[in-house]
């Protein structure tokens, strides 16, 4: 008696069916690619229309930029991924952020010897605005953050550390773990921190506090003040508000441009 599905004949038949299925699969993918190509063209037209009406809005209105970015993120699109993307080409968002990236890098390099590669978002904002000149488009702090997030791809050690309602921007590949970050946050109020401050606020043992502070010293992010009243103060130049108003010297600018 013939049993179905068994024997060389059945196997050969199955193989043929699989092959045909795969072939159909090929055709399906081809179809879908063709469909995608068509839809892409249509989308491009819609984007062109949108750009003709609202390109200025994006350029001028930072809140609109934020909305735009958030919406893109929600649906899984990164308008800043490539300068060759539609978004960049038609809305001009790319150039805006990539140029900002260059300016951020230059400011961080110029000031690195002062603050060890750590700078508050406020100071970075001030210095970038100064560098952009009178006729350039104004930028918001949100714009800076987005540009910095993109810069991470360059493997430079750019990091964004939240402290007391604002952010510290790290621009050198220094290793900063949770302990270091927490101490930076503690220092934010007064610009310095002591071993006692750390023990009181964070409940750490002396040794742990000392290690963290030593690491910050080694990385050039903190300065040691042995003449302070009481115990040694560890100052963070990144948090000196007086420095905001200081110009970048010609020498520092030379240091920034390779």
Partner 1 sequence: MDRFVWTSGLLEINETLVIQQRGVRIYDGEEKIKFDAGTLLLSTHRLIWRDQKNHECCMAVPLAQVVFIEEQAAGIGKSAKIVVHLHPAPANKEPGPFQSSRNSYIKLSFKEHGQIEFYRRLSEEMTQRRWETMPAPQSFQASRGPQPGRIRAVGIVGIERKLEEKRKETDKNISEAFEDLSKLMVKAKDMVELSKSIANKIKDKQGDITEDETIRFKSYLLSMGIANPVTRETCGSGTQYHMQLAKQLAGILQAPLEERGGIMSLTEVYCLVNRARGMELLSPEDLVNACKMLEALKLPLRLRVFDSGVMVIELQSHKEEEMVASALETVSEKGSLTSEEFAKLVGMSVLLAKERLLLAEKMGHLCRDDSVEGLRFYPNLFMTQS
Interaction residues for partner 1, span 208-247 (CB under 8 A): 214, 217-218, 220, 224, 244-245
Contact (CB, 8 A) for 148 and 103: no
Residues 171 and 159: their CA atoms lie apart, in Å, by 7
Query: How many angstroms separate the Cα of 22 from the Cα of each of 12, 27, 192?
Result: 15, 9, 67
Q: List the one residue from 80, 124, 163, 236 that touches partner 1 (CB under 8 A).
A: 80
Please name which of 146, 185, 190 lies closest in space to residue 168, comparing C-alpha atoms: 185
Q: Would you say 10 or 33 has its CB closer to partner 1?
A: 33
Binding to partner 1 (CB under 8 A) within 125-154 occurs at 125-126, 129-130, 132, 134, 136, 138-141, 150-154
Q: List the one residue from 14, 17, 18, 26 that touches partner 1 (CB under 8 A).
A: 26
Residue 86 half-sphere exposure toward CB, CA atoms < 13 A:
14
Q: Would you say 182 or 224 has its CB closer to partner 1?
A: 224
Among the listed ranges 4-12, 155-163, 177-185, 192-200, the one in contact with partner 1 (CB under 8 A) is 155-163
Q: Would you say 85 or 191 has its CB closer to partner 1?
A: 85
Among the listed ranges 3-11, 45-53, 188-196, 199-207, the one in contact with partner 1 (CB under 8 A) is 45-53
Q: Would you say 126 or 185 has its CB closer to partner 1?
A: 126
Q: Would you say 78 or 225 has its CB closer to partner 1?
A: 78
Q: How far is the CB of 180 from partner 1 (least distance, A)?
A: 15
Rg over CA atoms, the chain:
28
The DSSP bridge pattern shows strands 166-170 and 192-193 to be unpaired
Q: How far is the CB of 226 from partner 1 (least distance, A)?
A: 12
> What DSSP character marks residue 138?
P
Residues 91 and 101: their CA atoms lie apart, in Å, by 18
Q: Is 165 in the site for partner 1 (CB under 8 A)?
A: no
Contact (CB, 8 A) for 169 and 121: yes
Q: How far is the CB of 6 from partner 1 (least distance, A)?
A: 28
Binding to partner 1 (CB under 8 A) within 182-201 occurs at none
Q: Going by C-beta distance under 8 Å and a sequence separation of 6 or more, which residues neighbour residue 171?
A: 105, 108, 109, 112, 117, 118, 119, 156, 157, 158
Q: How far is the CB of 145 from partner 1 (least distance, A)?
A: 13
Query: How many angstroms separate the Cα of 110 from the Cα of each of 135, 186, 255?
Result: 23, 26, 6
* Per-residue mark of binding to partner 1, 49-78 (x: CB under 8 A): -x--xx--x--xxx-x--xx--xx-xxxxx
């Amino acid at each position: 008696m013939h049993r179905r599905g068994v024997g060389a004949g059945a196997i050969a038949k199955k193989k043929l069916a699989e092959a045909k299925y795969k072939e159909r699969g090929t055709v399906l993918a081809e179809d879908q690619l063709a469909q995608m190509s068509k839809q892409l063209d249509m989308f491009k037209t819609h984007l062109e229309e949108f750009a003709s009406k609202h390109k200025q809005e994006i350029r001028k209105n930072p809140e609109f930029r934020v909305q735009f970015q958030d919406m893109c993120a929600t649906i899984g699109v990164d308008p800043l991924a490539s300068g060759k993307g539609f978004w960049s080409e038609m809305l001009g968002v790319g150039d805006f952020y990539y140029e900002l990236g260059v300016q951020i890098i230059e400011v961080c390099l110029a000031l690195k010897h002062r603050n060890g590669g750590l700078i508050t978002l406020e100071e970075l904002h001030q210095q970038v605005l100064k560098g952009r000149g009178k006729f350039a488009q104004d930028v918001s702090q949100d714009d800076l953050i987005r540009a910095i997030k993109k810069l991470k791809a360059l493997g430079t050690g750019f990091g964004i550390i939240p402290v007391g309602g604002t952010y510290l921007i790290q621009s050198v590949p220094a290793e900063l773990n949770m302990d270091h970050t927490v101490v930076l946050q503690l220092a934010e109020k007064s610009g310095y921190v002591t071993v006692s401050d750390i023990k009181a606020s964070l409940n750490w043992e002396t040794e742990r506090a000392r290690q963290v502070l030593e690491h910050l010293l080694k990385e050039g992010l903190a300065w040691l003040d042995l003449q302070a009243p009481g115990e040694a103060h560890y100052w963070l130049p990144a948090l000196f508000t007086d420095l905001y108003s200081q110009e970048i010297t010609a020498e520092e600018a030379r240091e920034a441009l390779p």
